[in-house]
């Protein structure tokens, strides 16, 4: 076995040395300290990983745990439990003023969507100015922010670039990847298979009239891109970086999260995506052992979990924005971003932009491939780009939803409203909201105090944890932690005048989702609260310590960047 490993190591070293030279990517000199590799499985809850291990969908992770190569622990990423907030906390140690996946800036009269390149780059700029990233000299792949990495690919918040493939190196990288016959054949076969699997799954769900099932026209194409094409590119990139000896690497696999939202976190489509990610983890782990350019610690984590639920509109016949509008008066003008369609549009437009950069950079005849892909996507956009207006400046009521979390804004004035002001305008609003079966909590501010309202009581957080009536957080075992997180969220400048948390039913473990999703995260209740953290046993971390994502950043800084 030792001889086989040595031969494989020599083969891989020669192969990736050639690739690195052709891409103009230099070998990174080692300072003698170990590097780290972070593999993020987007959306994987601790409870769901345990069930996936039992069902046999993560054999690599199972082997690592059984052989004592890794230790596993749940951790609480904080609220909002969304990728932008959690990755900002891990990579930069600061996730202030990221109130959810989408929100509204009352002062500017503009909506924000975290995945939008303009919003992500503005956040990245602020994070870079206020703190130090953990990826200095390293690489960032498929992330929201780059953590001060030297090389970033498909990282939305990267500063100083409009499109990754504008540079010759970026185009050269893609062409080199595509022109590798075996790798190209693998990607083509896997893409066709993924598309056919999607057709079969959607067809069976339609015939059986099963829910959940995705209905968007762009979903099959985006599924192939995220579950196959980008997955293979980022794995190839990670292997190349390990050969080069970069000090830090952070890459996010998105496929499980995408399918879990639409089919459920323990559905066959989602679990099969997890098994495919497990195979890529095996390749990365094996490669770091065979090519000893630098010793690497391996970390496998998720940014949040996911809780099964039912779309609010499907369950109650109205969106949450329409419910609020009805309670305050139908004459009030409502602006509600119904997330899934707009999110697909942003991702589609971003991908089209990257394809155009490839088309302009490589010339004929290869340029016909990205041209055909762009034209295919354009024909399947959910609606015209001109119909999409995120401005809500002249709207009375603005509602922005992220999973089972909703921010409600009243355009009475530019500044946030306090709860007493809201009640003076709409005296019965809070009680009426809490009477709705799809709403669990209503959160508001009263000067320095934050109040969490439930149906039969409230919690006041002014200098303590003061309960009147029944504790509205008694349904969860970590009520005080949840209260601190909600209080912090409520004090963000861009948080809603009211914050709504969708219904949570501990007996069934399900939530009410304010988006068109059948499993969600972002708020509170169920498996979404507990993410996954796997580390090697020789890493001196206390796995019970992290209470939010910024704590993970502190542990990385202490271990790898302490002077």
Over residues 423-437, mean pLDDT:
95
E-only strand ranges, 221-379: 248-253, 296-301, 307-311, 334-337
More confident residue, 143 or 341: 143
pLDDT at 45 over 90: yes
Contact call for residues 521 and 307 (beta carbons, < 8 A): yes
Q: What percent of the chain has pLDDT over 90?
A: 56
CA distances from 30 to 16, 21, 33, 273 (A): 17, 18, 7, 35
Considering 13-27, 147-161, 197-211, 508-522, the range whose residues carry the highest mean pLDDT is 508-522
Cβ density class 231-258: b for 16+ within 10 Å, e for less = bbbbbbbbbbbbbbbbbbbbbbbbbbbb
Which residues is 309 bridged to in the sheet? 511
Looking at per-residue pLDDT, the higher value among 197 and 504 belongs to 504
- pLDDT surpassing 60 at residue 505: yes
What does the pLDDT read at residue 185? 66
In this prediction, residues 409-431 reach a mean pLDDT of 93
Rounded Cα distance between 53 and 275, Å, is: 10
Closest to 524 measured CA to CA, from 557, 477, 560, 562: 477
* Alpha carbon distance 502, 511 (integer Å): 6
Average pLDDT, the chain: 84
If pLDDT is split at 50, 70 and 90, which confidence band does 5 have? low
Is the pLDDT at 420 greater than 60? The verdict is yes
For residue 408, what pLDDT is reported?
97
**Distance (Å, rounded) from C-alpha 181 to C-alpha 523?**
45
pLDDT band for position 284 (50/70/90)? very high
pLDDT confidence bin for 555, thresholds 50/70/90: very high
- For residue 146, say if its preceding peptide bond is cis, omega within 30 degrees of 0: no
Residues with Cβ within 8 Å of 446's Cβ and at least 6 positions away in sequence, in order, are: 418, 419, 420, 462
Q: What is the pTM of this model?
A: 0.87
For 138-288, strand residue ranges (E) read 139-141, 151-153, 248-253
Mean pLDDT of 81-104: 96
Sorted by sequence, the CB contacts under 8 Å of residue 181 that are 6+ apart come out as none
Q: For residue range 202-217, what is the model confidence (pLDDT) as tens digits?
A: 666 666 655 555 555 5
Q: Within 10 Å of residue 167's Cβ, how many Cβ atoms?
A: 13
Instruction: Give CA 304 to chain center in angstroms.
Output: 8
On the question of pLDDT at 8 being above 60, the answer is: no
User: Is 125's pLDDT higher than 70?
Assistant: yes
* Cis-peptide into 318, omega within 30 deg: no
pLDDT over 80 at 330, yes or no: no
- Fill in the DSSP letter of residue 100: S
Q: Which CATH number fits domain 37-306+525-561: 3.30.1340.10, 3.30.70.20, 1.10.260.40, 3.40.720.10?
A: 3.40.720.10
Of 24-33, 141-150, 151-160, 521-530, highest mean pLDDT: 521-530
DSSP 274-309: HHHHHHHHHHHHHHHHH--SS-EEEEEE-S---EEE
Q: Which of 84, 80, 60 is nearest to 70 (CA)?
A: 60
| Average pLDDT score over residue span 9-35 | 71
**Closest to 111 measured CA to CA, from 346, 418, 353:** 346
Per-residue pLDDT, 73: 95
Check residues 143 and 350 and name the one with the higher pLDDT.
143
């Amino acid at each position: 076995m030792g001889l086989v490993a040595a031969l494989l190591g020599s083969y891989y070293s020669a192969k990736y040395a050639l690739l690195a030279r052709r891409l103009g990517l230099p070998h990174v000199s080692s300072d003698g300290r170990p590097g780290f590799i972070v593999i993020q499985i987007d959306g994987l809850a601790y409870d769901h990983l345990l069930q996936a291990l039992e069902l046999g969908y993560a054999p690599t992770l199972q082997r690592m745990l059984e052989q004592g190569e890794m230790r596993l622990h749940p951790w609480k990423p904080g609220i909002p439990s969304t990728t932008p907030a959690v990755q900002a906390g891990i990579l930069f140690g600061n996730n202030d003023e990221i109130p959810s996946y989408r929100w509204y800036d009352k002062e500017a009269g503009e909506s924000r969507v975290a995945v939008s390149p303009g919003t992500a780059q503005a956040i990245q700029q602020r994070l870079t100015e206020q703190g130090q990233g953990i990826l200095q000299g390293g690489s960032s792949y498929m992330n929201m922010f780059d953590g001060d990495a030297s090389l970033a690919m498909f990282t939305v918040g990267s500063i100083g670039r409009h499109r990754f493939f504008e540079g010759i190196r970026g185009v050269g990288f893609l062409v080199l990847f595509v022109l590798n016959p075996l790798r190209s054949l693998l990607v083509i076969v896997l893409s066709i298979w993924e598309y056919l699997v999607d057709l079969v799954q959607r067809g069976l769900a339609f015939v059986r009239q099963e829910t959940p099932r995705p209905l968007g026209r762009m979903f099959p194409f985006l599924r192939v891109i995220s579950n196959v094409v980008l997955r293979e590119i980022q794995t190839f990139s990670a292997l190349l970086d390990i050969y080069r000896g970069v000090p830090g690497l952070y890459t996010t696999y998105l496929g499980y999260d995408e399918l879990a939202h639409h089919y459920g976190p323990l559905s066959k489509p989602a679990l099969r995506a997890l098994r495919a990610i497990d195979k890529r983890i095996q390749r990365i782990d094996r490669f770091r052992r065979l090519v000893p350019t630098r010793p690497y610690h391996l970390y496998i984590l998720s940014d949040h979990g996911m809780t099964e639920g039912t779309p609010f509109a499907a369950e109650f016949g109205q969106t949450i924005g329409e419910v609020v509008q009805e309670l305050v008066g139908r004459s009030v003008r409502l602006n509600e971003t119904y997330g899934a369609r707009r999110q697909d549009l942003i991702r589609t437009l971003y991908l089209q932009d990257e394809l155009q950069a490839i088309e302009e950079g490589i010339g004929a005849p290869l340029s016909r491939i990205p041209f055909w892909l762009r034209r295919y996507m354009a024909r399947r956009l959910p609606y015209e780009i001109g119909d999409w207006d995120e401005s809500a400046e002249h709207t009375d009521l603005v509602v922005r939803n992220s999973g089972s979390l909703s921010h409600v804004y009243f355009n009475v004035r530019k500044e946030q409203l306090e709860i007493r002001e809201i009640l003076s305008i709409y005296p019965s609003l809070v009680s009426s909201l809490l009477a709705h079966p799809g709403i669990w909590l209503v959160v508001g501010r009263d000067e320095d105090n934050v109040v969490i309202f439930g149906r039969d009581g409230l919690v006041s957080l002014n200098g303590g944890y003061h309960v009147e009536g029944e504790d509205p957080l008694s349904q969860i075992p970590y009520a005080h932690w949840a209260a601190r997180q909600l209080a912090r969220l409520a004090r963000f400048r861009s948080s809603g005048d009211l914050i709504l948390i969708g219904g949570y039913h501990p007996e069934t473990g399900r939530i009410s989702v304010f988006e068109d999703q059948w499993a969600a995260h972002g708020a509170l209740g169920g498996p979404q609260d507990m993410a996954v953290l796997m580390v090697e046993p020789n890493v001196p971390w206390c796995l019970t310590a992290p209470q939010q994502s910024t704590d993970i950043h502190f542990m990385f800084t202490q271990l790898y960047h302490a002077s």
